[in-house]
Amino acid sequence: MLRMVSFNMDYYWHFSQIDADHHVTTVMEPTEKERIQTPCPQSDYNYFYYLVYILYTPLYICGPIITFNDFISQMRTPCSKLTKKYVVIYALRLAAVILTMEFTLHYLYVVAISKAQAWNNDTPLQLSMIGYFNLLIIWMKLLIPWRFFRLWALSDGIWPEENMIRCMSNNFSAQRFWKSWHRSFNRWTIRYIYIPLGGSKYFAFSMWVVFTFVAIWHDIELKLLAWGWLICLFLLPEFVGSRLFTFKKFGHTWYYRFVCGLGAVCNILMMMVANLVGFCLGLDGMKAMIIQIFSSADGLVFIILVMSCLYVAAQIMFEIRESEKRRGDPKWTM
């Protein structure tokens, strides 16, 4: 469905951009942005190329999403980043993730515990670890098929974007988390839904439409709608805070990084709650877990300790981002 929308929208936008003559072929290899935004010649928007794109085997079942313009562009001008060395290293990384998943599932039974809701009399620490490792397993079970099908496409000469460019545990910003989680789908929603709705100008409105679509696209379930709407609700504080409490205005103060650290802790906790509701425990399970944690003095002490640990982790993540920025690593903006 996403590929059908991509073909038709790219074809439609071709007519609105045709006067600008954007589809003139240059000698230099186009950038990633140019591949996506530059319309193809009108003759390329035909039924044969439509079927080739829709039914492209390596990415048909699962793999990262690639737009029609990008796909046709790469058929004509292969991506220079795609080398034999890159493909071999990528295959080894995929093998390492699969072995890690096998090791985790063999020794940790958190999925069975959460499915059976068998956490009565567990300590707050045990409850939080059940939730955390469930999220980690969800991250890996999505990472493995996405990387497998991307590896297949790379071996065939097509460069789709990596869907997960960061470890799940290396995220402190809700907005940046969704840019690096299922990244190709995130970029698809930005191009075909978010920007046509007005983009950042109407962020507070358009994000509800985007995440409602994303939830229904996954499946029509109440817990997934709750997941999408919780994300929107949890994005608002960061959106407002980042606009009011900017580095330009407050970066020179001694408390700027302290406040950012506290905001990061809140973001991490809210992201964990939203994803546990959507893909693990559901509304009832999450409610039961929160009640068990907050119904005792030990649970409150535990929450304080967790927030302290997350604060330290957030400061480390700040330093990682700074080092990426110094190196010119494109991931630092994610």
Active site residues: 218
CA dist., res. 109 & res. 134, Å (int) = 9
Burial class (CB in 10 A: 0-12, 13-18, 19+), 171: buried
> Mapping DSSP to helix (H, G, I), strand (E, B) and coil, where does residue 78 land?
coil
CA distance 96 to 235: 33
Q: How far apart are CA 9 and CA 67, in angstroms?
A: 10
- Report how far Cα 156 is from the mean position of its chain's Cα atoms: 25
Q: How many CB atoms lie within 10 A of CB 129?
A: 14
Identify which of 246, 244, 254, 259 has the alpha carbon closest to the alpha carbon of residue 315: 259
Q: Quick check: 206 and 197 in contact, CB under 8 A?
A: yes
Is residue 64 within 8 Å of 149, Cβ to Cβ?
yes
Q: How far is CA 1 from CA 36, 184, 241, 250, in A?
A: 18, 14, 36, 45
- Tokens linked to 188: 């698809």
For residue 145, how many other CB atoms are within 10 A of its CB? 13
Helices marked H in 26-76: 32-37, 47-54, 68-76
